Each structure stands twice: as structure tokens, then as C-alpha cells.
Chain A
């Protein structure tokens, strides 16, 4: 691969949307081509400026009332389900799917009970409850010491904002009986849960899986087990894991 990639290809790369084969190829090229690196940086800077400057119009409060008034749903609530709006500001996007998914996994867990399923269920729960983060911070120097004293191991907390995965926080969680540290990274409006625990009962195989639009990646390094879970596209999650492993090592 050389410098003749069209703009759309370069932008897709900067957006983390290239499929893995092309991604690896292009990154190999970037390694040795300062001109293309500069170009990608320019694209990223432009996108960041755009994202920082474009306003998101919020629905006026009366709109909810208007919608409900137009629909027969308030007159006759279905069963006794009451749904309040989640206090989740801009992050509400993937919640409905997460709720459903959490319920689905909740039912299935007894049968499949794999760690990946536990991780998926925990990811889904963390999105729908208010329990996404115990410590909310984009600063690794805040999140890292927070775990000290709460866990008997130190999950590597690294800064991946340059790669497009800013740190959002962390929490203590459990996968089945296993207490784990959960690091939360953001990707656009989605989250990545990264579960970390000592591999005393054996290292995890390196594997990836997809279930109902959620992707998981597992691996072990330096005596710790890792499972990353998110609803972002598989190649983005792969890029996240690659960047994390490189820095955590």
C-alpha cells in the first residue's frame, strides 16, 4: 500500500471504521510515511473541531407530552410496567437495547454461564443502571489510585484518548463469583467495559465473539485476565484492545 488512498479511505481510517485487513495494511504504511501520518492527524483535528462545535439540539420538554398525547400508550399502560426516563443526558442512546439484552442474558445465564456471557450481562447492566461507574474521571491518575485498597491487584489504567478512546471511569464488579475491576472507556457515545482480574485460576484464551450486536474480546497478559465488551463495531473494539495492550504492557 502506498500514498494513493482516497480521502474516504483515510477518513474511514481516522473514524476507526476500516476493516481489520485494510487497517493493518494502512497502519504499516503509516509507520513509514510521515506525509500520510500528518494527513490523518489533520483529518482527526478537523473532526475533533467539528464535534466540539456542532450543537446537539435537545428536544423541548413539551415534546414528550405532545408525543404521549398523540399516542394511546398513556391511556392504557401495558401490564404494570412504568418506564421513567433515565437520567443519562447524552448517553441514553443504546440503553433500550441494553435493557432488553440484560434481561435476555439474565434468563440464559443459568445454562451458559461462561465468563463471556457474564461479562456481556454485566456490560448491559452497567449501561441501564446508574451503576456504570463508581469513580468518574477521565484522568488515569485519579482512577488508578481509586482501585488501590479496593482490589489486591492493580488493573493497568492507561490513557487512550489520543487513540479515540477516552477514559470515563471505573467500578468494582463481579463476573459470576469472581470479583473484577471494570474500567470504562468511551467511544463516541458508546462505552467499552474492560474487566480485569488476576489469572490465578488460569489465563484466558485469546478469543473474540459476537452476541446480539455486542462484541467481546478476551486475553491474558502479565498475570491478569481481560475481557473487553462493547456494542461498537468489532474492528473498533479490536483497535481499542490493540492500543490498550500496547500501553498496558
Chain B
């Protein structure tokens, strides 16, 4: 496209410029958290509405980070409504065992890739979301820290444990898969 589509003077970002380009990122995160097409769409729609209302507090910078933080909040409040009784145990507080660190790599098995979505499904929301942000959206630790509103050190340890947890789940599924095949 040519540059005439852009304003020629320095103007504050319009809502369209700053946020609408990030709707794929918004949808991807919502879809992984909600695990349901329509729920994800609803959440993204609500997130855009909230973002629109709060847009005068947007201080410029990375629109994606700002939007994803809102998407995430919308998703979590919907999830809380859905699972009335589920205790909100933080992923950071469980499983400090270091034995998972020795999990062998499951990628040698052809079935591993097919089982990956199932393994992701078994993860706590906080583990799944950090993998989505880092591995799919390509967010840097700094950006993830801003989206999750946690220190970078927490991002670092949570991501490491999310990866190990995913490998562990994948191993379990593979073992089941293999014994099933016998």
C-alpha cells in the first residue's frame, strides 16, 4: 500500500492504528485459553470494547502488549465464571520438583506432534498461555512480563516449568499411545 494512507502529520495513534492490526494475536491467545471458537470470539470482541473505552489511557508503545493484557483479563474472568468451584492455584506455586528436568525428549517419536494439542490441553492455563505467548506469538520475556504483569524473573521460571510440564504430559500421552498400539 502507498504511504498516503497514513496521516502526514504526527498524530497520536488512533485506535485503528494501534490495536486493530493485532486481532489475530488477540484471537490466538483467546482461542488457546478458552479452547472454544465462539468463546474466543466473544472474548476478543469484549476485549476490543474494553480497550476502546480505556484507550485514552494507552500511552503509545506496543499496542499488542496492551491489547493482549486486556484479552487475557477478559478470558480469565470468563473462565472463573465457568468453573465456579475450581480453586485458583497459581502455576508458580505447584510442582517445584526438579525431577521433571530430566524428562527425555519426546520429539524422536513421530506421534509427538500429533499429541501436542492434547498435551497443551492438560496444562494449567498459566502454563498454556505463556507457551502461546512465547512460542507462537514470539513475544520476548519483557513483553510477556508486561502482558502478565509479573516480573521478568517470574516469566523466566514459569516458562521453563511450562516447557518441562508440557514435555512431561507429552511423555505420558506417548506412553499411553505406544502401549495402546501393542
A93 interface residue, CB < 8 Å from B? yes
A45 touches B14 (CB 8 A): no
Kindly specify which of A54-62, A151-159, A200-208 makes contact with the partner chain.
A54-62
In angstroms, Cα B62 to Cα A232, docked, is 12
| Contacts between chains A and B (CB distance < 8 A), count | 181
B74 interface residue, CB < 8 Å from A? no
Cross-interface CB contact of B62 among A51, A56, A97, A129, cutoff 8 Å: A97
B157 touches A57 (CB 8 A): no
Q: Smallest Cβ distance from A234 to chain B, in angstroms? A: 10
Q: Smallest Cβ distance from B175 to chain A, in angstroms? A: 18
B157 touches A8 (CB 8 A): yes
User: What bracket does the count of chain B residues touching chain A fall in?
Assistant: 35 or more
B150 interface residue, CB < 8 Å from A? no
A46 and B105 in contact, given A11-B160, A54-B131, A94-B64 (Cβ under 8 angstroms) = yes
A11 touches B23 (CB 8 A): no
B10 touches A104 (CB 8 A): yes
A15 interface residue, CB < 8 Å from B? yes
Q: Smallest Cβ distance from B131 to chain A, in angstroms? A: 7
In angstroms, Cα B158 to Cα A239, docked, is 24
Kindly specify which of A65-73, A112-120, A170-178 makes contact with the partner chain.
A65-73
A54 touches B22 (CB 8 A): no
For residue A249, which residues in chain B have a CB less than 8 angstroms away from its CB? none
List residues 87-119 of chain B with CB under 8 A from any CB of chain A: 98, 101, 105, 107, 112-113, 116-117
For residue A53, which residues in chain B have a CB less than 8 angstroms away from its CB? 112-113, 116
In angstroms, Cα B45 to Cα A86, docked, is 20
Most buried by A among B48, B49, B117: B48
A-B contact pairs, 22 of them (CB 8 A): A7-B101, A8-B161, A15-B141, A17-B141, A50-B131, A50-B163, A67-B48, A70-B48, A79-B11, A83-B5, A83-B14, A85-B20, A93-B22, A95-B21, A96-B13, A96-B17, A96-B18, A96-B21, A96-B22, A99-B6, A100-B18, A107-B9
Q: Name A's B-contacting residues (CB within 8 A).
A: 6-9, 11-12, 15, 17, 42, 45-47, 49-60, 63-64, 66-67, 70-73, 78-79, 81-87, 90, 92-97, 99-100, 103-104, 106-107, 128-130, 188-190, 213, 232-233, 236
Q: Rank and list the top 10 A-B pairs by shortest CB-CB distance, nearest first.
A: A188-B138, A59-B27, A8-B160, A189-B138, A57-B31, A49-B107, A53-B113, A83-B16, A8-B157, A96-B63
Q: Name B's A-contacting residues (CB within 8 A).
A: 1, 3, 5-7, 9-11, 13-28, 31-32, 37, 40-41, 44-45, 48-49, 52, 60-64, 98, 101, 105, 107, 112-113, 116-117, 120, 131-132, 134-142, 156-157, 159-161, 163-164, 166-167
